[in-house]
A and B are shown apart, each in its own frame.
Chain A
Amino acid sequence: MLRLIGIEFKRSLLMLRRYPMEMVGQLIVITMIFYGLFLGARYIAGPTAQFGERLDALVVGYVLWTFALFAIGDLSWGLMDEARTGTLEQVFLSPYGPSRVYLARNVAGLLVTLALNLGILLLIQLLTGVRLDFSPAVLAPLGAVLLGAYGLGFMLGALALLFKRIQAFLNLFQFVLMFLIMTPFEQFSGTARLAGELLPMTIGAGQLRTLMARGEAFDPVVFGLALASGLAYLIAGLWVFGSAVRAAKERGLLGGY
């Protein structure tokens, strides 16, 4: 598995070195969208408005949303692209099996995604004047969110494998993801909170808001729940993906369009 992660890491670095403008373009577009939203909100609220903690929470949510978008999208867009260009079957000829190869690809792509999102965060902070609390503790809930994101990524990857053209669905899914990540379920109470926290990534996203926007202390119990949720969704995602691979082989769906 380490070999796989190593070679996937090399591949993602080579792509980045060879096509740096793709990443720079993404960084600028994503930042500008947020800045546009920020300017619009400030115009509506008037020049004296103070957003305070809510803006901080919004920045955390937005950056986390783009982070999850990359983590989830890499696999499903990648699968569709490989089916179209004709390298998918070569990947499936690996004795490691597609689940392990794509898991390695996710882990290897993490550093690039992390660098991209850190860039977006710094640019947004620079443009909006928001100052977030960074501490090593934020990495823990971030990891938990990522596990859930990869789980969802494998589920969408399964759909891509079986139905091939799911671009329209993936585009709509961005808004589902926005709802999952940006809704402050941690501030809800009762059944709404419980239902919200059963959804993927919500507990980790809530803890990140608590730590970075509200400056509260790290709660290991909340982190434990976030981690359990992330692991559960990752395992479920891998299972769904494995089943989709079997179904695709059964129905002869691997290969080009």
Chain B
Amino acid sequence: MSVLVCENLQKTFHSHGRSTRAVQGVSLRVGPGEVLAFLGPNGAGKTTTIKMIAGLVRPDAGTVRVAGRDPHRDPWALRQLGAVLEGNRNVYWRLTPLENLEYFGVLRGLSAATARRRGRLLLERFNLTDKQNALTQQLSRGMQQKLAIAVSLVHEPSLLLLDEPTLGLDVEAAETVKRMVRELAAGGQAIVLTTHQLDVAQQLSHRVAIIREGRIIAEDRTDALLARFSGEQYEIEVVGEIDAARRERLRALGAEPLNGRVVYLGVPEGLWDVLDALRPLTILRVEKDRADLTEVFLKLIREEERA
């Protein structure tokens, strides 16, 4: 059963006599333990969609269900939702991490005692226990972001919305946040992740949805999408000169010897014959051409632009 079900979401903003169709028929589903990377260029409709899911922007049409409940009609549906929103502090800088966890826990419907108890556990889990009584404004950016994620989890929601969770973090802090996202998903948390850092999306997501000008232009499992855009060729890097006889044999097998490497475009089983032809040269690397999410993203966006 899906934790998040959005059907045909539509939103048009009107300002100074102009209308902007921000979201046009977006439908999404996310199951337990699944990370959906929701990607798109600036102004594509990501944040509007996320805010419609969170009940912060009312859709003109379409429905949102979080754990079966509509946050636009039933405020207690928000009990099943946690969010870290981009460009926001998300927590009070004049309170300590533990005070923030207690405050927002009660705001989400917990008793103060439960919020404190869960808050301590989350601080321990996120390695913030030694900072629990420091003022949040004195924490590093990475720690503040970890705290924001901890706060969004204090009421144990079914769905977590993470809008640019690694933006502006140093390498170490970004790695910690990525590890946390993986752990949360492994524990059954449904997560919608928006980010412009496509390598992060590739590393973390099980599925990808790409939005452009308010419409979803691609949605698939991350590995399937990458495979769809990956080539069939293998590249073999060798040490030493490939002599003329080997070159001829390689060409007969459908491989093209280039400077210090061989490109093979035949069937996968034929790769063994190519490797055999290279014997006894030292092989440095054998790699199948594999697109990364950045290539896929750019190809799709450009294809749409041309269309």
Partners in one complex: yes
Whole-angstrom distance from the CB of B261 to the nearest CB of chain A?
A: 50
Contact check, A95 vs B79: say whether CB atoms are below 8 A apart: yes
Binds A, one of B27-35, B47-55, B243-251, B294-302: B47-55
- Which B residue sits closest to A254, measured CB to CB? B56
Question: Which residues of A232-250 are within 8 A (CB) of B?
Answer: 246, 249-250
Residue of A nearest to B87 (CB): A256
**Distance (whole angstroms) from the CB of B139 to the closest CB of chain A:** 15
A57–chain B nearest beta-carbon distance, Å = 39
Count of A interface residues, CB-CB < 8 Å: 31
Q: How far is the CA of A86 from the CA of B146 in the complex (A)?
A: 16
B89–A7 contact, CB under 8 A? no
Task: Please judge, given known A-B contacts A3-B112, A91-B107, A95-B79, whether A86 and B57 are in contact too, CB under 8 Å.
Answer: no
Q: Note all chain B residues with C-beta closer than 8 A to A189.
A: none
Chain B residues whose CB sits within 8 angstroms of the CB of A18 once the complex forms = 94, 135
Given known contacts A11-B95, A87-B89, A249 and B57 CB-to-CB distance under 8 angstroms: yes
Select the residue from B99, B103, B107 with max chain A CB neighbours within 10 A: B107
Check A225 for interface membership: any CB of B closer than 8 A.
no
| Contact string against B for A residues 90-115, beta-carbon threshold 8 Å, 1 for contact and 0 otherwise | 11111111000100000000000000
Establish whether residues A95 and B76, one from each chain, have CB atoms under 8 Å apart when the complex forms.
yes
Is residue B108 within 8 Å, beta carbon to beta carbon, of the partner chain? yes
Residue of A4, A11, A90 with most partner-chain B CB within 10 A: A90
Residue of B nearest to A97 (CB): B75
Question: Does B104 count as interface, using CB distance less than 8 angstroms?
Answer: yes
Residue pair B104, A90 in contact (C-beta under 8 Å): yes
Chain B hits for A14, CB < 8 A: 95, 99
Is B94 touching A95 in the complex (CB atoms < 8 A)? Answer: no
**Are B111 and A3 interface neighbours, CB within 8 A?**
yes
Query: Which residues of chain A come closer than 8 Å to B54, judged between CB atoms?
Result: 89, 93
CB distance from A90 to the nearest CB of B (A): 6
Q: Does B277 contact A (CB under 8 A)?
A: no
Say how far B26's CB is from chain A's closest CB, in angstroms.
15
B184 at the interface (CB under 8 A from A): no
Is B106 in the interface zone, CB < 8 Å from A?
yes
Contact A86 B88 (CB under 8 A): yes
Give the interface residue-count category, chain B: 35 or more
A35 smallest CB distance to B (angstroms)? 31
Interface string of B260-278 (1 = CB under 8 A from A): 0000000000000000000
Judge whether A26 is part of the interface by a CB distance below 8 angstroms: no
Q: Do A252 and B57 touch across chains, with their CB atoms under 8 A apart?
A: yes
Cross-chain contact of A96 among B14, B58, B75 (Cβ < 8 A) = B75
A15 and B14 alpha carbons, distance in the complex (Å): 40
Cβ of B39 < 8 Å from any Cβ of A?
Answer: no
Cβ of B174 < 8 Å from any Cβ of A?
Answer: no
B143 interface residue (CB < 8 Å to A): no
Cα A190 to Cα B135 in complex, Å, equals 58
| A37 nearest CB across to chain B (Å) | 33
Q: How far is the CA of A197 from the CA of B121 in the complex (A)?
A: 55
Q: A3-B112, A6-B112 are in contact. Are A249 and B94 (CB under 8 A)?
A: no
List chain A residues, Cβ under 8 A from B102.
Answer: 7, 10
- A249 and B58: CB pair below 8 A? yes
- Chain B residues contacting A250 (CB-CB under 8 Å) are 58
Q: For residue B111, give the distance in angstroms from its CB to the closest CB of chain A.
A: 7
Instruction: Tell whether A7 pairs with B112 under 8 Å between CB atoms, given A85-B89, A251-B13, A252-B51.
Output: yes
Say if the beta carbon of B188 comes within 8 Å of chain A.
no
Name the B residues within 8 Å of A15 (CB-CB): 94
Additional A-B contacts beyond A11-B99, A255-B56, A255-B88 (7; CB < 8 A): A3-B112, A10-B102, A10-B103, A85-B89, A87-B90, A249-B58, A250-B58
A to B CB contacts below 8 Å, 26 in the list: A4-B107, A7-B103, A7-B106, A7-B112, A10-B103, A10-B112, A18-B94, A85-B93, A86-B89, A87-B88, A89-B54, A90-B85, A90-B90, A90-B91, A91-B107, A93-B54, A95-B77, A95-B109, A101-B107, A249-B57, A249-B58, A251-B13, A251-B14, A252-B57, A255-B88, A256-B88
The chain A residues found within 8 Å of chain B, CB to CB, are 3-4, 6-7, 10-11, 14-15, 18-19, 85-87, 89-97, 101, 246, 249-252, 254-256
B binding-site residues for A, Cβ under 8 Å: 11, 13-14, 22, 48, 51, 54-58, 75-79, 81, 83, 85, 87-95, 99, 102-104, 106-109, 111-112, 135, 151
Task: Please provide the 6 A-B residue pairs with the shortest distance between their CB atoms, ordered closest to farther.
Answer: A86-B88, A7-B106, A94-B107, A86-B89, A249-B58, A95-B78
